[in-house]
Amino acid sequence: MLEDLSCHILDIAENSAAADAETVTLLLEERRRENWLYLSVEDDGRGMDEERCARVYDPFFTTRTTRRVGLGIPFLRQAAEACDGELTLTSRLGEGTALRASFRLDHIDRPPVGDIAATLVTLLAGNPRIRWIYRHRVDDSEFLLDSQELLAVLEDPDMLRTPAVAEWLRSYIAENLEEIGAGGESIAQDQKS
Amino acid sequence: MPRIKSLEDLKKIKENAKDLTSARSEGKTRVVIGMGTCGIAAGARKVMDAVLAELEKRGLHDVTVETTGCIGMCQQEPLLDVIRAGQGRITYGKVEPEDVPRIIADHVVNGTIVQDKVIGRAD
Ligand SMILES: Nc1ncnc2c1ncn2[C@@H]1O[C@H](COP(=O)(O)OP(=O)(O)O)[C@@H](O)[C@H]1O
C-alpha cells in the first residue's frame, strides 16, 4: 500500500505519463476552514472507454479477466472512502482523463500529505517532455509550479534529468510549500502531543 | 527561514552545465528506476532521491536518470537498471537507498557490476 498522498499522486500521475499526456495538471487543496482535502489529476492523454474506466475504478466490477488492471486507483479510492470522501474517475477515449479524490481533512485515517517535492522531482526528471502544472492551496495561499516556466530558463528538457537541476527543484518546491504551510497538519498534531 | 530558491539560481545551474549536456546521448550512462505502483509502494521514490543525491554529491553530471512503468517483476521492486556503454543493461532488484552509493561508485563510475544485487541482464 502507498504510505501517503504524495506517493498516491506519483502513482496516479505516472498513469497520465504512460497515457502519453502532453500536459498534466495536478491540484492539491487543503481547505482547512471547510475541513476537506481535495486532490485532482487531469491529463490530455489517450483516455479510456467507458468499460475500461469502470473496471479500472473497480477491478471486481466484472469477472472477465481479459487484461490485467492495476490497483493504484482502487488503493486511492479506498483511502478516500475510508476518510468520508470519494473518488471519481472520468475519461474520454482520445481526449483525456480526470481523477478527483476528497478526504475529510481531520479524519484519523487521512494519509499525510508526504513528500510532494520528491514526487514532483521524480515526475519532472522522469518525464521532462510533459508539461507539469502543480497547484497546492492551503485556504487562500497558493503555490504554483509550471514546468514550462522552468523550461523557459533551461531550454533543453533533458536538463530536468540532471542531478543539479533536480536538487534545485527539490529545495525550490520544499521551501515554497513550507511558505504556505502545506501539510501543516503534522505541526498541529505535534503541538497537541 | 531559508532563503527561497529562485529562478535566478536555476539560470546559474544552466550556465554552469552548458558544456556538460552538449556531449549528450552517445556513450552516456543511464540509470532507470521502476516507478509503477509496486515500485512506489516498495520505496522506489526514495531510491530515486538517493540516486539524484549521490550523483550530485559526486558531481556526475553526465549520467541521466529516468523512470519506467511496471515491468512485471513486482516482487523484486524497487528495480534499478544501469545502462553503461559496452556493458548492456543490468537490472538490480530489491534496491534500498543504502545500496545506491555502492551501485554508483562501483558500477556507474568504475564499471564493476554489484553482483549480489543483480537480478537480470540484457544486451
Ligand atoms: N490517466 C489515464 N489515462 C489512460 N489510462 C489510464 C489512466 N489511468 C489509468 N489508466 C488505465 O488504468 C489502468 C490501471 O491503472 P491503475 O489502477 O493506476 O494501476 P496500474 O498503474 O498499476 O496499472 C492502467 O494500466 C491504464 O490502462
Q: A78 and A86 in contact (C-beta within 8 Å)?
A: no
The enclosing domain of B48 has a CATH number of 3.40.30.10
pLDDT of residue B2: 52
Q: Is residue B102 part of a domain?
A: yes
Q: Is residue B58 part of a domain?
A: yes
pLDDT of residue B20: 56
pLDDT of residue A170: 95
Domain boundaries, given as residue ranges, for chain A: 5-192
Asked if the A5-192 domain carries CATH number 1.10.3470, the reply is no
**pLDDT at residue B19 tops 70:** no
Chain B hits for A10, Cβ within 8 Å: 35, 40, 45
Q: Which of A126, A127, A165 sits opposite B13 (nearest CB)?
A: A165
Its domain, for residue B80, covers 26-122
Chain B hits for A1, Cβ within 8 Å: 41
Question: Within 13 Å and on the Cβ side, how many CA atoms surround A170?
Answer: 20
A158 alpha carbon, distance to own chain's centre: 23
Q: Is residue B43 part of a domain?
A: yes
DSSP A42-92: EE-S----HHHHHHHH-TTS-S--SS---SHHHHHHHHHHTTT--EEEEEE
Q: Which of B1, B40, B49 to probe the A interface (max A CBs under 10 A)?
A: B40
Grouped pLDDT means (10 residues each) for chain A, 193 residues: 93 96 98 97 97 87 57 94 98 97 97 97 96 97 97 94 92 95 62 39
Closest CA of chain A from B99, distance in Å = 18
Number of domain units in chain B: 1
Q: Does A84 touch chain B (CB under 8 A)?
A: no
Cell numbers 470522501: residue = A85
Q: Is residue B37 part of a domain?
A: yes
Residue range B72-95, pLDDT digits in tens: 888 899 999 999 988 899 999 999
Confidence band (pLDDT; 50, 70, 90) for B67? very high
